[in-house]
Chain A
């Protein structure tokens, strides 16, 4: 696993530069530095990932641009909220989801979702891409998300592989 060259501060800066201004989620070690960087900007530590999606939906209805940070285990928890709230109501939300269980190389509880996640994202028609490994590519990824949300409001995901974030 290569060492990440993208810092949490750089990713948080890229998100804010593209207008994202409401941050919530449930932690994962792979995005610890991002959450630390978002805390000064009002990051809300939610109790569950689907509750975070509810909170983010309310913020979006109130005119904010939300980001929900979660582990892919929490993506499993979130499927009904994504499908019956953000998707059908056309409520914009960036999901930053970590890819635990990537290539089968993780603790047993992460292996099933680690293998299934890309197919689930595709089956739910959630636009997604892997987050780039440096500040320039991450900024391009966030710009891509913003363009998708402007085109069609709803859920859009950036997937964070192990080792990407320093």
Chain B
């Protein structure tokens, strides 16, 4: 037992000697350290210290000079820096080894001449860099928080911007639909006013003729003429009433949206907007210098459709959007050679608990790949500046808000149908 303890003490002593240098450093001539930038800044390190030298982070360029001395039997230097190298490195007839840009940490240089030579060990430490300072981690955290905060701030600004932008586009969409509406109303009023003008002018001429007949003593002829004048006045009154009706109806539709629902005659609402949209379509056709086309108007109203509680201005906007899109599409199709006679068909139908409004056209249809996107905000197939891409998206939202559904059926080359289902509450 005593022998075993004695052996252990001998081994430990030998290892301790090896760790702190002593005799084994005999082949290590010198160790110089610097930062690699300026040759003059290199300083010599003691090689027989009991304690491994501790170097600052910027003293990380080390040069080891060797002298074979007593191990002069071999010319091959084997070395290996523990903490950096994984294997022994060897070089023939070299006396110097350099390590540069070493990271902070504990290192031990092992070196020997020849495979069987005694290993020399030189431990040293390089102090860590700024991140070993107490203030570095809090500072880094602060910088990271700053970057994250900045990203969050800009993400928030971007969302706010999108919201403002969307509001502006909705406003623009409303203005654009107002332009269409105004143009349609103007056209709708033009017809009765033409009648009023023509019949009043004719009546004026007839009265002059009646006066002449009275003067000639032909009372019978004068009476017949006055009967015609009376008929004309009746027509003037009828057309005046029609114009007045249009204005009243439009004023009702144009009332600012209060959000409150009123029982509305769906058939009348659809008819009004259909007429206006068709007129607006023709007017725009002239302005856009696209070939003017006649669009056939087909209506099938179900008389059983009851008044239902809706916001008429909102549902009117939905109808206007769908009619406008159909018109736009038919005008585009009209420019194609061999296009069939375009039509828009409006059908209303009462089901058990809901009303169906179906608006159908025989345009080119919606391509399958974009069918799922047409209700997405800002999606448009119209050229830049001609569409905001919000029409159908807003329509979808409006119908949803009424507890209804807005669906599309379309076949490429055959046409498109938009179906609005509104509940009868």
- Whether A and B are associated in the same complex: the answer reads no
**Residues of A near any B CB (own CB < 8 A):** none
